Amino acid sequence: DADVTQTPRNRITKTGKRIMLECSQTKGHDRMYWYRQDPGLGLRLIYYSFDVKDINKGEISDGYSVSRQAQAKFSLSLESAIPNQTALYFCATSDALWDTDTQYFGPGTRLTVL
Amino acid sequence: AQTVTQSQPEMSVQEAETVTLSCTYDTSESDYYLFWYKQPPSRQMILVIRQEAYKQQNATENRFSVNFQKAAKSFSLKISDSQLGDAAMYFCAYRSGDSNYQLIWGAGTKLIIKP
């Protein structure tokens, strides 16, 4: 079984709709991240969480919100989706104490906003 | 601010040959980590190899090795005995060694393997 899972894997929605992307991990890591990837670009950080009560904005948080429901779950919401939020979204996890805090990624969610 | 540059948008190599992907970075820090991630058509982002800046020895993982030149701020990835399954986008990433968790990413290099 995958250590980091994301649901859904693909989603098509319409402008103005509320969308939630979910991430779960079985690695036991304390840190979780949400990134987006656009064609021809590297990943950009949206939000990150170092534990359940510690949530922080990344470089492109506008238009997004997150919820850390448990150590193993971290969801990303688009309150009112717009077409320029069409992208590939990745969840990642890391452990601050081990493994040089290396980030491990889920399989990604491809989101299309029409 | 730190930046990561991958100057080769696309590279191709014959199967079983060796290829080197380039990455340079800009930082004023002395303590940091460098990573290569692979993104195959399945789009999963997979860690290939990592290097701690304080280590002089170049990291190696099976057919993958790096040439880490700290003074030149260069971190190239060498893939030996290229296989069809190595075809993917390869991303170089930088992370500060302090409490800053954030990964700084290059734009990626598309690697094509010719059979």
**DSSP letters for B83-102:** -GGG-EEEEEEEEESSS--P
Q: Is A30 exposed, middle or buried (0-12, 13-18, 19+ CB in 10 A)?
A: middle
Q: C-alpha A51: how far from its chain's center?
A: 15
Q: Could you tell me which of A8, A11, A34, A6 has the C-alpha nearest to residue A111?
A: A11
- Nearest by CB: B50 against A58, A88, A102: A102
Share of chain A above pLDDT 90, in %: 79
Chain CA centroid to CA A49, Å: 10
Percent of chain B with pLDDT over 90: 81
Query: Is residue B40 scored above 80 in pLDDT?
Result: yes
The residue-averaged pLDDT of B63-91 equals 97
Q: Of A68, A74, A63, which Cα lies nearest the Cα of A105?
A: A74
Give pLDDT, residue A95. 83
CA distance to partner chain B, nearest, from residue A41 (Å): 5
Compute the distance between CA of residue A20 and CA of residue A77 in angstroms, rounded to an integer. Answer: 4
Which region among A17-21, A23-27, A105-109, B28-32 has the lowest average model confidence (pLDDT)? B28-32
Tokens 């020895």: give the residue: B57
What average pLDDT is seen over chain A? 92
Cβ <8 Å between A101 and B95? yes
Asked whether the predicted pLDDT for residue A84 surpasses 70, the reply is: yes
The reported pLDDT for the residue numbered B42 is 87
Answer whether A54 touches B (CB < 8 Å): no
Say whether pLDDT at B20 is over 60. yes
Q: What is the pLDDT of residue A34?
A: 96
Contacts of A88 in chain B (CB under 8 A): 43
DSSP 3-state of B30: coil
Q: Would you state the pLDDT for residue B115?
A: 93
